[in-house]
Amino acid sequence: MADLQTVLQEIKDFRRENAESFKELKEDIKSTNIRVEEAERRIMESEGRIQMIEDATLELLELQKQTLSRLTDQESRSRRDNIRIHGVKEGAEEGSQSMIDFIVTLLKEKLDLAPSLDLIVERAHRALAARPPNEAPPRSIVVKLQSYRTKEAIITAAWQKKGFMYEGRKIIIDHDYAPEILKQRKLYTEAKRVLRERKIRFQTPFPAKLRVFYDGETQMYNTAAEATKDMATRGYQVSVVPPEEDRFEKMRRIWSRAEGRGRQADARPGYMQKLDVYRRSAMEE
């Protein structure tokens, strides 16, 4: 009997200890549930803020795109009276009193300009860059003319001559394009090379387009990617220029991928679902 009483007492002690342990465990689970709910609330708030940040960033990128377009347009307008002369050897102007005198003399001697043309140069200088080594191509010369009509007359005369020679170098006169437009026009280099090899006439309308005169057809391209792709389709051996993706579309694509990964993760039992199951089980006990 003594042994039985001892066993019963041990069982009672064990049950009491277990009851206390379960009570502590339930308190811990309750505290954990409170923390989980707080974490869920903060996660939901963070997701909402992230969405707001994404929307605001896209709006800012669109605004930046519009601002850049307007800035490029304004810069182009400010250069409307300018010409840019390529190929003049570095230091060729040192024998003249000034760069302006050198340019006026050069244009009058090399271009068949009308005697009545009022050739007034307001400013003239080399491109704002460090002087290149002797073996490197010379810097271009930027010329600000007083009249837009004078500028157009000079450009027309230079294009009719297809450039001219000066001190053994080929001199080219062109518009003074804004950097962004010049970047877009340079993308047509591959297409123009192939067209020249095939002796196909083309033009490069402002700001950055390409008009090609095929046999019995005239085609206008708005981008270098569009031009090279169509030329490759026509059977020309040309390297296709990949289309440019602006930052707005790139950001939208990255976020679309992130959202897609999020939807895939939601399809699997995630930590939120597991915690919810755990919380319900604890409450039932």
Predicted model pTM? 0.66
Compute the distance between CA of residue 78 and CA of residue 176 in angstroms, rounded to an integer: 10
- Structure-block tokens of residue 262: 């999020």
21-45 per-position pLDDT tens digit: 777 788 888 888 888 888 888 888 8
Compute the distance between CA of residue 210 and CA of residue 223 in angstroms, rounded to an integer: 8
- Structure-block tokens of residue 97: 């009193």
What single-letter DSSP state applies at residue 118? -
Residue 202 sits at φ, ψ, to 5 deg, of -150, 165
Per-residue model confidence (pLDDT) at position 272? 53
- Residues 6 or more apart whose CB falls under 8 angstroms from that of 85 comprise 103, 106, 140, 141, 143, 171, 172, 173
102-141 per-position pLDDT tens digit: 999 999 999 988 888 989 999 999 998 899 998 899 999 9
Task: Annotate 13-42 with b (16+ C-beta within 10 A) or e (fewer).
Answer: eeeeeeeeeeeeeeeebeeebeebeeeeee
